[in-house]
C-alpha cells in the first residue's frame, strides 16, 4: 500500500506516519530529508530521531538522488517511510539561484518521484508532506514556485496512492481510502 500523510506544521503527521510504520511489524527504512542548517533545526532532527525505534534504518536523502534511492528501497520487503516531501522540495529549489533551468530540473526530479511511487514495489510506502496550500498567494517568486510544485506534487501523489490522510491537531482525517 502507498499512503500519503499531509498536514500543517506540528499537526501530528510525522508521529501518525511513524505509528503506521510500527503497526506493520516489518523492517522500516526511514528516509529523512532534513538538513541541519542551524541549531534549532538540529534540535528538531534530534527530537525526531529520539522518537524513532533504534532498529529502523535511516537514510538521509536531501537531493535529486532521492527518487533513485527510493526506487531501490521499494524493491525490498518492509516499510519505507519518507519524511518530508516538502522539506526535500524546498532544498531542491534552494540549491541554486531561482531560474528557468533550476525549475525545469526540479520538475524533472518531481516527475521521477511520482513515477517511482506510481510503479510501487514490494515495500509498503508512507509519504509525509506539509499541506501548505491553505493560505494566501505568496508575494515572492521562490515561494510561489514552491507552492505550485508542492500542491501539484501532492495532487499527483494522491492520485497514485491508495490512501491519503490529512492530520489536523493530531487527528488523522481520511481523505482517500
**Which residue of the set 2, 48, 52, 149 is catalytic?**
48
Average pLDDT over residues 145-163: 97
All domains of the chain in start order, with CATH: 2-176 (3.40.50.300)
User: Quick one: pLDDT at residue 42?
Assistant: 87
- Among residues of the chain, what percentage have pLDDT more than 90? 81
DSSP state of 174: E
User: Quick one: pLDDT at residue 62?
Assistant: 87
DSSP reduced 3-state for 116: helix
Active site residue 48: yes
CA distances 92 to 53, 55, 146, Å, are 28, 29, 10
DSSP state of 55: T
Quick check: 77 and 106 in contact, CB under 8 A? no
Average pLDDT over residues 65-88: 97
User: Quick one: pLDDT at residue 135?
Assistant: 80
Quick check: 19 and 137 in contact, CB under 8 A? no
Average pLDDT over residues 70-98: 96
What is the DSSP code string of 56-103? SEEEE--STTHHHHHHHHHTSSSEEEEE-HHHHHHHHHTSS--SHHHH
Average pLDDT over residues 3-9: 96
Q: What confidence category does residue 44 fall into, taking pLDDT thresholds of 50, 70 and 90?
A: confident
Amino acid at each position: 500500500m502507498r499512503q500519503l500523510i499531509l498536514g500543517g506544521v506540528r499537526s501530528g503527521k510525522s508521529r501518525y506516519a511513524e505509528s503506521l510504520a510500527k503497526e506493520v511489524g516489518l523492517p522500516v527504512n526511514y528516509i529523512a530529508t532534513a538538513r541541519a542548517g542551524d541549531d534549532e533545526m538540529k534540535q528538531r532532527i534530534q527530537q525526531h530521531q529520539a522518537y524513532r525505534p533504534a532498529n529502523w534504518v535511516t537514510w538521509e536523502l536531501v537531493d535529486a538522488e532521492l527518487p533513485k534511492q527510493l526506487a531501490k528501497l521499494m524493491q525490498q520487503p518492509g516499510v519505507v517511510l519518507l519524511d518530508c516531501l516538502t522539506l526535500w522540495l524546498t532544498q531542491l529549489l534552494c540549491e541554486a539561484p531561482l531560474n528557468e533551468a533550476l525549475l525545469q530540473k526540479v520538475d524533472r526530479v518531481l516527475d521521477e518521484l511520482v513515477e517511482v511511487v506510481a510503479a510501487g514495489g514490494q515495500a509498503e510506502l508512507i509519504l509525509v508532506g506539509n499541506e501548505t496550500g491553505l493560505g494566501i498567494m505568496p508575494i515572492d517568486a521562490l515561494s510561489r514556485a514552491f507552492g505550485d510544485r508542492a500542491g501539484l506534487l501532492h495532487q499527483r501523489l494522491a492520485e497514485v496512492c491508495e490512501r491519503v490522510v490529512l492530520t489536523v491537531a493530531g487527528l488523522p482525517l481520511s481523505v482517500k481510502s
